[in-house]
Structure 1
Amino acid sequence: MPLTFVGLGLCDERDITLKGLEAVRNADRVYVEFYTSRLSTSLETLERTFGREIELLERRHLEEESAKLIDEARERVVVVLVPGDPMIATTHSSVVFEAKKKGVEVRIIHNASIVSAIAGVTGLHIYRFGKIATVSYPYRNTVSRTPLDVIKQNLSINAHTLLLLDLNPEPMTIEYAVELLERIDDGTLDHFAVGVARVGSDDSLAVCDKFYRLRDHDFGKPLHSIVVLARTIHITEYEFLREFANAPASLESLVE
């Protein structure tokens, strides 16, 4: 019996692919997890739209207790729904690895994620992106320096940096992310960036400005992400950001 991971896409219940919907309707058991990403919809709406009862998975079910899920897939057709693309999260790739080691068939039905959509919403060239980092909530009042370190690494190779914002205990806003990174900044962030909100929805938004000015813009409700631009940008990236992200004219100073 297969264990199938189905990507739900970027926004709501309508973003599932036809192949994914077919897998859901043919499954014996359907699960969903919302800890690696979120949708602007509810579990009840997913159930009503897909015509299936769906059980919510917590993080431990796909980490410490993943063996139970794999064992269930030996006897039943199991589908795990994942916002975005299923294999963006290393947690899911680890489950796939363990399932295959145990001889359990695995299927992956891909979909759009922020990683693939960010180029389209910002006009930035996808091959210009470097490592991705997550801005996490402080742990014991300490702000992680990892995002700043990653930004520095990417700037050193003239690459853009996609910053994902923590989802737990609640989706982080751009305003709060800027506040956190200001606590550890050494001058690196005196640079241009793009804030994006609700990518994939009808009211998605992208705004380009200096990093610290992003907190002055109203991005509305999450989900939010930030892209810190490379040291230089291509003329077509500049033109797109001017047209669709209200970038200031001073951004032209980055054009190579």
Structure 2
Amino acid sequence: MTGGRGLLVHAMLALGAALFLLPVWLVFCAATQDVGAINRGEIALLPRRDGLSIFGDVLFGSGPAGADRPVWPMLALSFAMALAIAAGKIVVSVLSAYAVAFFRFPLRMVCFWVIFATLMLPVEVRIIPTFEVVAGLGLINSFGGLVVPLLASATATLLFRQAFLAVPDELMEAARMDGAGPWRFLTDILIPTSAANIAALFVILFVYGWNQYLWPLLVATHPAQETIVVGIVKMIGTESATEWNRVMAAAMLALLPPVLVVLAMQRWFVKGLTDGEK
């Protein structure tokens, strides 16, 4: 019975993996086809070897359509933005959660519930006043304008607060008897014990920052400040004029950085998720 159940579980996992990978494989194959075949819906299930050069053409803006913009600056900007958003959210969330969890100051819980209440506000509700603030600070068409408004995270603050509250009181008392101040207690005890959670959250926040579309579309009107997600959308013109093979190639290239980040931090990511369930 156990062997049959294990076989069924593995079969379901294989089916789920196939359903996930099939669209990605079709996009990869479509990138190597010519535009006419894609427009006719004649996408082969195997890539054309002579069409693999499309990825280099799209990445560096070379090839027959050499006038097209290269996507590597967009990839570099998106990577820097996602990295800054993930790191910034973690720093801000750790400090705010630490203050709410361990410091005693007036209206402490009111501050926490105000932070928590922002989870109920959709991004679209806050985007106009946020844009006005960024415009007033002169951050339009700047890297700071892309990153700074996205640094606060109520979700991450809530998660870190719960993780900090799970720290035994004996550990805090031992650190206090050892002469550790608030900053040393945070850096030497809380952050190391929360390293797996930080790594798991970093992966999630990196993917979140990488996939941003609406905010970069509004705040970055200069071509030099376009992220890869915005760039791919702008590559799509009318249905008959769009070079779909180049769009598909750009989509595949945009998929690589977040996948590499997930693979590089997979062990920490899984450990952070499993530790959070204990």
TM-score (normalizing by structure 2): 0.21
**Structure with a larger share of its residues in strand:** 1
Larger Rg belongs to: 2
- TM-score of the two chains, using structure 1 as the length reference: 0.23
